[in-house]
Amino acid sequence: MVSFQPTEEQELVQQTARNFALRELLPRAAERDKTEAFPLEELKKLAELGLMGVAVPEAYGGAGSDPVAYVLAISELARCCASTTVAVAVTNMAAELVCRFGSEAQRQHYVPKMVGGEAICAAFALSEPQCGSDAASLATTATKTADGWVLNGAKQWITSGDHAGVIIVWARTGEIGSSGLSTFIVEAGTPGLSIGKPEEKMGLRGSSTVALTFEDCLLPEDAMLGDPGRGFQQAMVALDGGRIGIASQALGIARAALDEAISYAKERKTFGRPIADRQAIQWMIANAGTQIDAALLLTLRAALLKAQQQPFTREAAMAKLFASEAANRICYDALQIHGGYGYTKDFVVERLYRDARVTTIYEGTSEIQRLVIGRSVVGQ
Ligand SMILES: Cc1cc2nc3c(=O)[nH]c(=O)nc-3n(C[C@H](O)[C@H](O)[C@H](O)COP(=O)(O)OP(=O)(O)OC[C@H]3O[C@@H](n4cnc5c(N)ncnc54)[C@H](O)[C@@H]3O)c2cc1C
């Protein structure tokens, strides 16, 4: 039996995220978008609240909660500032990865730093200039020497890569293909690691996205996460959980767009009546409300399966696919409801529309989600 009634603890996490987002994120969300200011202080406070490691055990500095609480928290944060939320989501994903595959020494050394504010946040460096969807073809190498591992190569699109104190990096240690990849933990400031200038993006402008270059970057012997050759599987496990996070982020953006659309539609009058009275507008709002509920249920299902330690790859892909595409449709309609005003920076919906766009691209494009779902459905 599946229950979607949150527990007291899940509600507490949700309420904590909502209060923080309304008080600390929303007031400066437009400014962050305009100036591309990274939310450094906000992330430190989020760490204090346990929201950088929602499902990370308390023993490693996390909140010790679960994936359902994580969905509720991320969607509350994204409702107010999607840029800040992506840094939070990536940190949660990276910290959970180290908890799952790291040695006890790695967990104790890195996870409290990642989730507790000392490292500000964490980054996840898989994509490269020549490959995103096809991660198994990545070209960064890690070569074993007497002193440890030497990294050479380039990463692209790394969220928070210029602020993160801990970066999880995938590199090739073996043959061509997915079985030649391994995962490494890299600390910021390691000699040989250089950081490119932040991309100037269409949306999520308060999140920084950078290229990383590794030139004879020497890592200690124990920098590898788990066993050699297991990197691809580890990345896929992390991305399954990550997709729950991006579905939740999309959900938060969609809810904000619906809120904006409803309040504008009630206020704006044409031909003597509020546009909210018109069937054409109500249908857009009805579609949005229905899609938001469907996205939430899909996302909670994936989170519940994860919490029960059951397979959830297909369910996470479905949640991410549906929620991200729904968020884009909902933002489109919400902007339409605003008429010409929606096309200006004076209205929140313009930012939401831009912020939603990337949710069908990162952590696996919609095409890749359909590929994952298709293989699973056909294989059944
Ligand atoms: C703002 C932002 C932040 C990001 N943050 C991170 C991060 O922190 N860490 C990280 O590692 N990466 C990050 N990424 C990278 C992101 O995950 C990739 O952009 C994404 O996986 C797509 O890869 P690509 O851009 O190389 O596109 P490609 O893989 O080149 O794909 C191009 C197009 O072809 C389609 N396509 C590809 N293969 C197939 C196929 N087999 N069948 C059908 N269609 C296909 C894709 O869906 C897409 O439409 C970020 C990207 C952005 C924009």
How would DSSP label each residue in 97-116?
HHHHHS-HHHHHHHHHHHHH
Give, using CA atoms, the residue closest to atom 43 of ligand 1.
Answer: 367
Task: Check residue 21 and report its DSSP letter.
Answer: I
Give, using CA atoms, the residue closest to atom 14 of ligand 1.
Answer: 157
What integer is the mean pLDDT of 315-321? 98
Contact 334, 258 (CB under 8 A): yes
CATH topology of domain 232-379: Butyryl-CoA Dehydrogenase, subunit A; domain 3 (1.20.140)
Domain 123-229: give its CATH code. 2.40.110.10
Backbone angles phi, psi at 241, to 5 degrees: -65, -40
> CA 121 to CA 210: how far, in whole Å?
14
Q: What is the pLDDT of residue 3?
A: 66
Give, using CA atoms, the residue closest to atom 45 of ligand 1.
Answer: 367
Q: What is the CA 164 to chain-centroid distance, rounded?
A: 15
| Residue 153 pLDDT exceeds 80 | yes
User: 86: CA distance to ligand 1 center in Å?
Assistant: 16
Q: What is the pLDDT of residues 31-57, one digit of tens each?
A: 999 999 999 999 999 999 999 999 999
| Nearest ligand 1 atom, CA 126 | 11
Tokens of 170: 């995938």
Are domains 123-229 and 232-379 of this chain identical in fold? no
Residue whose CB lies within 8 A of the most ligand 1 atoms, among 365, 369, 372, for a mutation test: 365
198-213 in b/e burial notation, b at 16+ Cβ within 10 A? Answer: bbebebbbbbbbbbbb
> CA 107 to CA 222: how far, in whole Å?
12
| Residue 349 pLDDT exceeds 50 | yes
| Residue 1 pLDDT exceeds 50 | no
Confidence of residue 100 (pLDDT cuts 50, 70, 90): very high
Q: What is the largest CA-CA distance in the chain?
A: 80
Contact 268, 275 (CB under 8 A): yes
Determine the angle formed by the axes of helices 348-357 and 82-101, rounding to 10 degrees: 30
Residue whose CB lies within 8 A of the most ligand 1 atoms, among 155, 167, 204, 361, for a mutation test: 361
> CA 143 to CA 158: how far, in whole Å?
22
Confidence of residue 321 (pLDDT cuts 50, 70, 90): very high
What integer is the mean pLDDT of 276-290? 98
User: 64: CA distance to ligand 1 center in Å?
Assistant: 31
Pocket of ligand 1 (CB under 6 A): 90, 124-127, 131-134, 157-159, 201, 204, 209, 358, 361-365, 367-368, 371
- Bridge partners of 149, per DSSP, are 144, 219
Q: Which of 118, 187, 363, 367 is catalytic?
A: 363
What integer is the mean pLDDT of 83-91? 98
Q: What is the pLDDT of residue 5?
A: 87
Contact 362, 288 (CB under 8 A): no
| Residue 324 pLDDT exceeds 90 | yes
96-134 in b/e burial notation, b at 16+ Cβ within 10 A? Answer: bbbbebbeeebbebbbbbbbbbebbbbbbbbbbeeebee
**74 compared with 5, residue with greater pLDDT:** 74
User: 367: CA distance to ligand 1 center in Å?
Assistant: 10
**Domain residue extents for the chain:** 8-121, 123-229, 232-379
Q: What is the pLDDT of residue 2?
A: 58
CATH topology of domain 8-121: Butyryl-Coa Dehydrogenase, subunit A; domain 1 (1.10.540)
**3 compared with 116, residue with greater pLDDT:** 116
| Nearest ligand 1 atom, CA 160 | 8
Tokens of 216: 């004879």
Specify whether 363 is catalytic: yes
| Residue 325 pLDDT exceeds 80 | yes
Please state whether beta strands 122-125 and 166-172 pair in parallel, antiparallel, or not at all (unpaired): parallel
Q: Is 153 left (phi over 0), alpha (psi -120 to 50) or beta?
A: left
What integer is the mean pLDDT of 188-202? 97
| Residue 272 CB partners (closer than 8 Å, separation 6+) | none
User: 16: CA distance to ligand 1 center in Å?
Assistant: 33
Closest by alpha carbon to 328, among 290, 359, 350? 359
Q: Rounded mean pLDDT of the chain?
A: 97
Closest by alpha carbon to 305, among 293, 289, 317, 294? 317
Give, using CA atoms, the residue closest to atom 32 of ligand 1.
Answer: 133
| Residue 380 pLDDT exceeds 80 | no
| Nearest ligand 1 atom, CA 371 | 42
User: 75: CA distance to ligand 1 center in Å?
Assistant: 23
With vertex at residue 359, the alpha carbon angle to CA 357 and CA 362, rounded to the nearest 5 degrees, is 115
> CA 356 to CA 335: how far, in whole Å?
12
| Residue 361 CB partners (closer than 8 Å, separation 6+) | none
Task: Check residue 286 and report its DSSP letter.
Answer: H
Amino acid at 204: L
Give, using CA atoms, the residue closest to atom 26 of ligand 1.
Answer: 132
Tokens of 103: 């040695």
> CA 212 to CA 197: how far, in whole Å?
9
Q: What is the pLDDT of residue 4?
A: 75
Q: What is the pLDDT of residues 164-193, one digit of tens each?
A: 999 999 999 999 999 999 999 999 999 999
Helix (H), strand (E) at residue 76 = helix 67-80
